[in-house]
Amino acid sequence: MTRAVVLGGGFAGTLAGAVLARHVDDVIVIENDHYPADPRARRGLPQSQHSHVLVAGGARALQELLPGTLEELFARGAHHRRLPGDALILAAAGWFRRLDTGAYLISCSRGLLDQVVRQRALGAVSTCTGTRAPGAVSTWAGTRALGLVGDASRVTGVSVSREDGAPETIEADLVVDATGRRSKAPRWLAEIGGPEIEELTVSSGLAYSTRVFQAPAELAGEIPAIMLHPRPSRGRPGQGATLFPIEDGRWIVTLTGTRGGEPPTDERGFADFARSLRDPIVADLMAAATPLGGVRPYRDTSNRRRFFERARPPAGFVAIGDAVVAVNPVHSHGMSVAALGALRLDRELTRRGLDPAATPELQAAMTAEAESSWRMALAQDAGPAGRREATAFEREILTRRTRALLSSPELAAEFFRAQTLMPPRAEKDGSAVVRALTGEPDPLLTTREAVMRYPALHAWWDALTRVRGGREPSLR
């Protein structure tokens, strides 16, 4: 009998358990929390009340791992939005036009996503018994991981404590750390004589606040995803907002701000912040909707990376998901990287088998799946520190390319495919870049023009205009 133990029963741990069940005789998932019976927010998940989306790369990986999952999500109210084809996106330079890039996102509540994936991945769950249902992964809910068992050369299991407080040891051929950005694995490895794990933290300087709304009947249809990106400005904080439709005719609104411009957590301040943004479209939609619950803040947005692959931890141990690379949640990559990592885990185990001696190579593969997300997050969040001042010519080139991105199908496809963790297109047409740098850019769209390019949204815009009392404010 071979056994694997997964520490953490969240999204990454659930997918890891499903994958390991294809390669190992016995899989145990250790989860400190208890799973809710319905798709509501889970107490032990700090971000459960905030916006969560699957981007295209992660959605494809999830569907390959668990066929039929996306169909079930859509049947239960999740929304598919092409980027920027089904989205209103106000970038720093202006509104995107309606372009077909192949990129997309899927939006729903985190509770719904977790419940659907958990039921499909783990099958019948046995709670706190340690018994394994046929064809399923056993989940020990309400159980706390205390540390690793083994020595500097080999991890042989884990020490856990159930709710009655009695510690016990679970022997395992492989231990997988899926406990997220607050992982204690570096300390646990040190306690058994393992190597020190180098860790890098890059602050994003970002805070966000979230509130859920019930959409009014006249606006509850196929509303686009709405994203108001901050516009960089020296000496001023960046502020923005997103509005995503989720199941049951609800919207989830997240307001973001960097240091000195953090979004408030009180109801009045939340509304005033949305009204102060470059375009009032999110504020107007909020004013027409019914709040469901209060405003919830989130501040732990640093980008964090643990270099397990450099340290070469003991055989029989591997870390995955946010325990390895956790980027600023505003980039919406966490769950998608977890799905891509689980798919890579499946492929590596198929190729190598369950060989504890090969876990350093397995760890390197898990890290590689998060590399592009890490680089994108740092490029956007690290700020100008350490960079030389751009020349006037370089600024002009950047301005032209940024402006052309709004209307060039080629440049937009390259941008959105990267942002949604999709592989780049095989062919690259350099002429699009040449036209962007030398040609006359297309005129910028007004908010009305951006909306009216979507025939299905004409009635939606008319309803919104009525909500605004006939006003059509211009961009700030």
Integer Cα distance of 475 and 344 in angstroms: 44
Parallel, antiparallel, or unpaired for β 174-177 and 3-7?
A: parallel
Q: What is the pLDDT of residue 440?
A: 77
Q: 3-class SS at 186?
A: helix
Identify how many contiguous H helices and E strands the chain contains and give both numbers.
15, 21
In the prediction, which pLDDT does 143 show? 95
pLDDT higher than 60, residue 458:
yes
| 436 Cβ contact list (under 8 Å, min separation 6) | 400, 401, 403, 404, 405, 408, 411
Q: How far is 47 from 50, CA to CA, in rounded Å?
A: 5
Model confidence over 53-86: pLDDT tens digits?
999 999 999 999 999 999 999 999 999 999 999 9
Q: Tens digits of per-residue pLDDT, 355-410?
A: 888 899 999 999 999 999 999 999 888 655 445 566 777 777 777 888 888 988 88
Instruction: Tell me the mean pLDDT in the region 449-472.
Output: 75
User: What's residue 127's pLDDT?
Assistant: 38
Mean pLDDT, residues 112-128 taken together: 74
- Dihedral sign from CA coordinates of 51, 121, 5, 309: negative
Does 338 score more than 90 pLDDT? yes
Burial 107-128 (b: 16+ CB within 10 A, else e): bbbbbbbbbbbbbbbbeebbeb
Q: Is 179 helix (H, G, I), strand (E, B) or coil?
A: coil
Higher pLDDT, residue 427 or 431: 431
**pTM assigned to the model:** 0.91
Average pLDDT taken over every residue of the chain: 87
Residue 46's pLDDT is 63
The set of residues, in sequence order, having a beta carbon less than 8 Å from that of 306 and lying 6+ positions away, is 183, 185, 186, 197, 198, 199, 319, 323, 324, 325
pLDDT band at residue 235 under the 50/70/90 scheme? low
Mind giving me the DSSP string for 337-352? HHHHHHHHHHHHHHHH
pLDDT in tens, 192-223: 999 999 999 998 888 999 999 999 887 766 78
Residue-level pLDDT at 382: 67
pLDDT digits (tens, 9 = 90+) for 140-180: 999 999 999 999 999 999 999 998 778 999 999 999 999 99
- Please give the full DSSP string across 259-327, using - where no structure is assigned: TT-PPPSSHHHHHHHHHTSSS-HHHHHHHHSEEEEEEEEE----EEEE-HHHH-PPBTEEE-GGGTEE-
Residue 75: both structure tokens together? 């049947």
**Least reliable range by pLDDT among 125-139, 238-252, 444-458:** 125-139
Output the pLDDT for position 238.
87
> Does 337 score more than 50 pLDDT?
yes
> What is the spatial distance between Cα 191 and Cα 180, in angstroms, rounded to a whole number?
20
Residue 288's pLDDT band, with cuts at 50, 70 and 90, is confident
The tokens describing 372, both together, are: 């592009």
Q: Assess whether pLDDT exceeds 90 at residue 132.
A: no
- pLDDT reported for residue 124: 37
